[in-house]
Amino acid sequence: MVKPAKLDDVAKLAGVSKNTASRVLNHRGYLSQKTIDKVHAAMAELNYRPNVIARQLYRQQTGLVGLVFPTVNNPFFAELEAALEKALYIHGFRAIMGNSENNAKKEEQYLQLLLDHQIDGLIVGSHNTNIQGYHSTNLPIISIERIVSNQIPVVASDNYQGGLLATQRLLDAGCQHIIHTNYPQTFPSPNYDRQAAYEDQMRKHGLTPITYSIPFDEPESTKLQKIRQIFIDHPEIDGLFADNDTNARLTITAAATFGKHCPADLKVIGYDGAAITRLLFPELTTIQQPISEMATTAVNLLIQRLNGHSVSSATLPVKLISGTTA
């Protein structure tokens, strides 16, 4: 039986020291291209396979990053996780997906993997609250569209500007009875800046803002029931700014059962603008978040933290995508 090649064998064939061969393998220090090419040629000739565990110990990294988000069944989070996985791969990291499904215990387990040095970092965006481990100051964690703690940088879209764009579009369309949907205010989130902008803009025009709370993790049937209640409570409604595209779609469905058709009787604007939503529901007017850029920014910030640098939160611009619903 042929024994697998060792690093000593690679070094000998390449005519370099074992230390130099190791530096080539781990991309450490300055090396001439000629030396790098010789070591790689020797590795190929000997069919050398690096000892992954040994490399992890040497580099003190696992090459793994945990992604913890509520679900992949939502178009925004599905596209975001795919973009994060792609950005991490470009930088030599593999992603471990962890859909929390509003399960705080599951999220704590991923945090424990980080504390046990089984993953290098976390990028999170789930909606669980009161997870104490997030308040440790030195953990390499980046949050997306969620305020986890004062120590963890947040990557978010410009939610306030998005709220302004949406509300003003409805006002420009002649709407006078505009209602907004948003998460219940049970945990800090940049999402509420959308509501703040809506309320400011309504009051600026002498109108009364009304927001209905719809939890993200509820079944669609329950969300639809709550949206139907809006039309019962406010038959005068002529515009709705939804906090996400799913609720915008449900609003249009609910409105039809009350004899209101979009856009003749009701103008609707969503929020997120994920690619799959744009493909399946191109008529929806929505505020589009820069999902790919959010992912790239989050990965870059995480790598900076892994390298010991201090980083700050980032806010990225949004844009209004015009459809026929508003």
The model's pLDDT over 155-199, given as tens digits with 9 standing for 90+, comes to 999 999 999 999 999 999 999 999 999 988 777 788 899 999 999
- Asked if the structure places residue 71 within a domain, the reply is yes
Which residue do the tokens 């040994």 mark? 54
Do residues 167 and 202 share a domain?
yes
**CATH number of the structural domain spanning residue 16:** 1.10.260.40
Is residue 107 within 8 A of residue 150, CB to CB? The reply is: no
Q: What are phi and psi of 206, to 5 degrees?
A: 70, 25
The arithmetic mean of pLDDT across residues 291-315, rounded, is: 93
Q: Which residue has the higher pLDDT, 326 or 151?
A: 326
Which residue do the tokens 């010991």 mark? 308
Do residues 40 and 152 share a domain?
no
Which residue do the tokens 């040629």 mark? 41
- Asked if the structure places residue 323 within a domain, the reply is no
The arithmetic mean of pLDDT across residues 270-286, rounded, is: 94
pLDDT confidence bin for 139, thresholds 50/70/90: confident
pLDDT at 50 over 70: no
Residues 103, 84: Cα–Cα separation, whole Å:
22
Do residues 86 and 184 share a domain?
no
pLDDT at 58 over 80: no
The arithmetic mean of pLDDT across residues 194-205, rounded, is: 97
| Tens digit of each residue's pLDDT (9 = 90 or more) over 140-153 | 889 999 888 888 89
Which residue do the tokens 């779609």 mark? 249
Sheet holding 285-288, edge to edge: 210-213, 178-182, 239-241, 267-272, 285-288, 319-321
Q: Which residue has the higher pLDDT, 310 or 162?
A: 162
Cis status, amide bond into 70, omega within 30 of 0: no
Q: Which residue has the higher pLDDT, 300 or 70?
A: 300
Burial of 283 (0-12, 13-18, 19+ CB in 10 A): exposed
Calculate what percentage of the chain has a pLDDT beyond 90. 52
Number of domains in the chain: 3
pLDDT at 132 over 80: no
Report the amino acid identity of residue 92: G
pTM of the model: 0.78
β-strands 64-69, 285-288 pairing: unpaired
**CATH number of the structural domain spanning residue 87:** 3.40.50.2300
Is residue 312 within 8 A of residue 154, CB to CB? The reply is: no
DSSP annotation of 25: H
- pLDDT (0 to 100) of residue 161: 98
pLDDT confidence bin for 323, thresholds 50/70/90: very high
Q: Which domain holds residue 47?
A: 7-54
Residue 86: in which H helix or E strand, if any?
Answer: helix 75-90
| Rg of the chain, C-alpha, whole Å | 25
Residue 54, both tokens:
């040994």
